[in-house]
Amino acid sequence: MAKLTMLRCGTCGQRYSNPARHVCRTRLDRKRRPGKTRVKPRVSFTCRTCGKATTNPLMHTCRVRTDFKRRKARQERLSKATAKSRRAAARRKAARKTARPATGGGTSSRASTPTPAAPRPAAPSFNGGPSSTSEVANHDYRECFQKSAGTRFAAAHDCPKYPCRIYREGHTNGLEVGRQLGHATGYSEGYSTGYAEATRDHANER
C-alpha cells in the first residue's frame, strides 16, 4: 500500500499531505526552536503482510511474529521429560532384577519346582454319563433293541447308549418309510385291479 506525503512540519517533524488535518504533538517544555515547514515529497509503502512501512519495497524483508520459538522450547522440554522418565523406569527395572532372590544357578525356586500334572480327563461318552468298560456298558445293540421292544409283562425302555439309540432310530424310520412305500404301491395295484374288474363286469352286462 503506497502513501504520498508532500509536507514536513517544522515544529513536530511529522509528514503530512493535508495541512488542514495536521495536528502537532510536541512537549510544552521543549527548548529547541521550531523550524520551518517545508515541502518535501515522499512516497512510503506499507507492507500488507507485516504492517511495516518502507520507502523501498524492493529492499523490504517481512518479519512476521510467530510462536515458533515457544513451540520449539516446549517440544524440547517434553523430550527431556520423556527421556528422564524412561531412564527412571530402566533404573527401577534393573533394581527389581537385582533384588530378586536367585537360587539354583540364577533360577528362582518357583521355576525349579515342577508343577504337578493335571489329571487326565475321562473319555467322553454319548449317553450323558462317564464311560465304562463293564459288560453292561459294552453290550450288543441288537440284543439291546430286542430287550427294549417290550413284552406283555415288561415295559419298553430306551437305552441311552449311542449305538443302541442310533439303531433304534434307524429301525423306527425304516418302518415309517416302509409303510408309506407299501401304501403307495398297494394303492396303485389295487386301483388298477379294481378298475380292470369293473370294466370287465360292465362289458359282460352289455
Alpha carbon of 75 to those of 14, 81, 88: distances in Å? 46, 10, 20
Picking from 45, 80, 99, the residue at the C-terminal end of a domain is: 99
First to last CA, the chain: 131
| Judgement on whether residues 158 and 177 belong to the same structural domain of the protein | yes
Highest mean pLDDT among 81-90, 100-109, 131-140: 81-90
> CB-side exposure of 110: number of CA atoms within 13 Å?
2
> Grid coordinates in use for 197?
374288474
Whether 141 contacts 163, CB under 8 Å: yes
Could you tell me if residue 149 is inside a domain? Answer: yes
Both 26 and 46 in a single domain?
Answer: yes
pLDDT for 130: 46
Q: Domain for residue 121, yes or no? A: no
Res 66 pLDDT > 60: yes
Is 111 inside a domain boundary? no
Q: Using 50, 70 and 90 to split pLDDT, how confident is the model at 78? A: very high
Overall number of domains in the chain: 3
55 within a domain of the structure (yes/no): yes
Residue 181 lies in a domain: yes
Percent pLDDT > 90 in the chain is 13
Residue 45 CA: distances (Å) to CA of 3, 54, 141, 204: 6, 5, 111, 135
